[in-house]
Amino acid sequence: MLGYYGSYDVVVCGGGTSGVPAAIAAARAGAKTLLIERVGQLGGQMNFSGPPGFAYAFLFNGRGEQIIGGFAQETHKRLLEAGHALPHLRPKWRGQFTFSYVDPDWWGLLVYEMMKENNVELMLHTMVTDVILDGNVVKGVVTAHPSGKSIVLAKVVIDCTGEGEVSYLAGAEYDILPKDQLEPSTVAFTVDGVDWDKVLAYVKSNIDDFIFDQVLLPYNGMTVEDIKKEVLKAESILDIGEIMGFEKIRVKALETGEWHGNSGIGFFLMPKEGGRVLAHFQHSSHVGNADCTDVRDLTYVEVEARMQDIIAWKCIKKYLPGFENAYITRVCPEVRIRETRRIICDYVLTADDVVEARKFDDVIGKSSFPVGGKHAVGDRALTLEAVRLPKDGGSHDIPYRALVVKGLENLLVAGKAISTDRPSHHRFLQQTTVTGTAAGVAAAVAARRGVTPRALENDLKEVQEILIKQGAILYGTH
């Protein structure tokens, strides 16, 4: 039996890193907002299938200008004040690759507070299973939950499911690579009990074993050797931020069959109260040749990633200096998916737009993340050949049209499924907060005016003004 749940201005489907800010932004812009999430935990890749070792990165461009504010800035500031984040880490040698660490567990608690503060209604443990369509006009969604199935009506629906699931169900066009070319997926785990002095000493005395070129961003004008000199000056592991390499250990463990060979060895850092630091391994399983929109492949990935994690952890504990007494505090409850569908919208962001640091009249936010640099199964976590940055250490605009799903009315997409070509795939979480916020504000304005979000493409002034009031950075940077 299909019940009726309710009727809203804005329904956000998926409460991950784009859905959370989308719902808050829509509610702040005056919309009666419902956020529907498949599990009980809000946060998606931030703290359910994540967390990332760091959050957020790339809030600054290579010239040191802050280009991302809004939700990312607000949550970082609130957590910093509460002792659950670290100040922005932006040494020159990192170029654009700045870190703004927050404790993802506390982030996960804060966002529930923010839902209450802003009167966002939540519908948790609820799966969106279908879309209600009148021709090409989206009218709402069908949901499944412990008490059965119900319909939810909406003036505007925002697809924040990560995999573009709602857009797909609505019949949207999308792009996806053949599965042998998709980025691999990971079940991440976090460990405590690390002797960080020992790790730092090992890094410094084996500096050539570590990979710093992945953050060698040309704008900082430094060479790998310059960067190594800077790393040697580090007084704390937190000055380095991300540790990738342990090459001698990896090569030896491969020979003895103690490393699985699907990725490099490395980890990110996670701050905890009282200056405690945890290590977060988010590359130590890498399962490729799988399309995670196919349930058979998805199931295979969940199992295979855990098999790789078991091998990885045994190797880490046995061979990585400083990890002798470390222990796993958390294995993420589900796989973290890097890449599936990119939904086709009224504009497809291109690699040229990124590299040329292009500006658009319908700007809704910015990004300085490079094109390329995709994860692949193999010796190293990243393929670096095709990495290209926005020119002159700048950033590019994200156009609103890249969120307006082509051929359908009343449907916006935000997060990693927005409309881009493959090299410029916008999957980094700070980018997803930007597109989530913009979709939330645009949906609220469209709902209030009684127009479809597409009608705002040439009339975006009010949306942009509200975004700026909500802290977004739209103008005034390179």
Ligand X SMILES: Cc1cc2nc3c(=O)[nH]c(=O)nc-3n(C[C@H](O)[C@H](O)[C@H](O)COP(=O)(O)OP(=O)(O)OC[C@H]3O[C@@H](n4cnc5c(N)ncnc54)[C@H](O)[C@@H]3O)c2cc1C
Applying CB under 6 A, the residues found at the interface with ligand X are 13-19, 36-39, 44-45, 50, 52, 54, 57, 127-128, 160-162, 165, 186, 188, 282, 336-338, 415-416, 427-430, 432
Q: Shortest approach of ligand X to residue 283 CB, angstroms?
A: 7
Contact 304, 323 (CB under 8 A): no
Of residues 438, 447, 441, the one with CA closest to residue 360:
438
Nearest residue (CB) to ligand X, 128 versus 320: 128
Nearest residue (CB) to ligand X, 18 versus 96: 18
Q: Shortest approach of ligand X to residue 201 CB, angstroms?
A: 25
Contact 474, 440 (CB under 8 A): no
Report the distance separating Cα 474 and Cα 327, nearest Å: 44
Contact 50, 40 (CB under 8 A): no
Nearest residue (CB) to ligand X, 161 versus 190: 161
Six-digit token string for 118:
């802003």
Question: Does residue 51 have a cis bond before it (omega within 30 degrees)?
Answer: yes
Nearest residue (CB) to ligand X, 197 versus 311: 311
Report the distance separating Cα 232 and Cα 188, nearest Å: 28
CA-based torsion, 11, 147, 119, 427: positive or negative: negative
Q: Shortest approach of ligand X to residue 256 CB, angstroms?
A: 26
Nearest residue (CB) to ligand X, 334 versus 462: 334
Q: Shortest approach of ligand X to residue 82 CB, angstroms?
A: 21
Q: Shortest approach of ligand X to residue 37 CB, angstroms?
A: 5
Nearest residue (CB) to ligand X, 23 versus 128: 128
Nearest residue (CB) to ligand X, 37 versus 309: 37
Of residues 208, 200, 168, the one with CA closest to residue 291:
168
Q: Which residues pair with 189 in a beta bridge?
A: 281, 331
Of residues 443, 417, 421, the one with CA closest to residue 431:
417
Q: Give the nearest residue (CB) to ligand X.
A: 16
Report the distance separating Cα 80 and Cα 256, nearest Å: 44
Six-digit token string for 439:
């979709």
Of residues 312, 313, 321, 316, the one with CA closest to residue 206:
321
Q: Shortest approach of ligand X to residue 99 CB, angstroms?
A: 9
Q: Shortest approach of ligand X to residue 209 CB, angstroms?
A: 22
Nearest residue (CB) to ligand X, 13 versus 216: 13
Six-digit token string for 240:
């380095």
Nearest residue (CB) to ligand X, 160 versus 363: 160
Of residues 214, 215, 190, 179, the one with CA closest to residue 337:
179
205 HSE (CA, 13 A, CB side): 7
Q: Shortest approach of ligand X to residue 50 CB, angstroms?
A: 6
Q: Shortest approach of ligand X to residue 426 CB, angstroms?
A: 8
Nearest residue (CB) to ligand X, 361 versus 379: 379
Of residues 49, 48, 44, the one with CA closest to residue 19:
44
Q: Shortest approach of ligand X to residue 176 CB, angstroms?
A: 15
Count of Cβ atoms closer than 10 Å to residue 55 Cβ: 29
Contact 68, 366 (CB under 8 A): yes
Scan for tokens 């935000």, then name that residue.
414
- 435 in helix, strand or coil? helix
